[in-house]
Amino acid sequence: MEKIIVNGGRALRGTVRISGGKNSSLAIITAACLAADVSVLENVPHCRDVVTLKAILEALGAHIELDHGRMAIEARSLVSHVAPYDLCRQMRASFYSAGLLLGRGGRAEIPLPGGCVIGSRPVDFHLRGFTALGAMVETEHGYMKASARQLVGTTFFVPRSSVGTTINLMLAASTASGTTVLDNAAREPEVVDTAVFLNLMGARIKGAGTNNITIEGVSDLHGASYAIIPDRLEAGTYLLAAAATGG
């Protein structure tokens, strides 16, 4: 069993480089696959979730290269609308592929986090949002199956200001017909970061960072280059460590 031994009692001082935000990365990497041409992302963190998401998107047909924090993504041809179960069950953020596939091709079959469970599920808010956008949504055998000839803009109240729901609906609504309003939207930096990147791709999103986000759907999106924001949790950890040791 591995262990870490910390010999404390010393003030921590110095300069560190903060990794890119993991939560932003997962949303933005998925968003890049809404376009057919290449997007280039900088400051992508090296972590298990990013590697897993890369494998999921590659299974759907994307071509992705990752080298020392730089990721090139090309999703000209998404050959599958069924996300791989074994990979998706490893992380909840894999459910962003639902918004991607609905927004890109109108069909998505995604494993439900937690599989077949009775009662409220962690993605029920997402399912309500997809239904409000006009998708036919059903769940069976641990999967969500959704389809829509064309997603249509709507007004949707985001329960509990859910970050995941807000981001997933931004992905789906960016290419929907008409205007979508997300009321009670999450205001976290990851939501803003994703909206900024989507706008660089050609989306028309206003209000990110407030609790009212408006998305005017466009016919298609194009690739973009973007640097992901630093990870606020990592930065906070170093700040607290320095403060706690008198550094």
> Is 47 annotated as catalytic?
no
Q: Is residue 227 part of a domain?
A: no
Question: Contact 100/82 with Cβ under 8 angstroms?
Answer: no
pLDDT at 7: 84
Map residue 195 onto helix, strand or coil.
helix
Quick one: pLDDT at residue 247?
A: 85
Q: Note whether residue 166 is domain-resident.
A: yes
Please, are residues 117 and 111 in contact by the beta-carbon 8 Å criterion?
no
Catalytic residue among 33, 47, 88, 116: 116
Domain around 137: 22-219
155 within a domain of the structure (yes/no): yes
Residue 197 lies in a domain: yes
**pTM of the predicted protein model:** 0.93
Instruction: Report how many domains make up the chain.
Output: 1
Q: Would residue 234 count as lying in a domain?
A: no
Give me the CATH number covering residue 69. Answer: 3.65.10.10
**Is position 200 within any domain?**
yes
* 101 inside domain: yes
Q: What are the pLDDT tens digits along the chain (247 aa)?
A: 788 898 888 898 999 999 999 999 999 999 999 999 999 999 999 999 999 999 999 999 999 999 999 999 999 999 999 999 999 989 899 999 999 999 999 999 999 875 444 445 579 999 999 999 999 999 988 899 999 999 999 999 999 999 999 999 999 999 999 999 999 999 999 999 999 999 999 999 999 999 999 999 999 999 999 999 999 999 999 999 999 998 8
Task: Tell me, yes or no, whether 126 lies in a domain.
Answer: yes
Tokens of 16: 């560190």
Q: Structure tokens of 43?
A: 């400051």
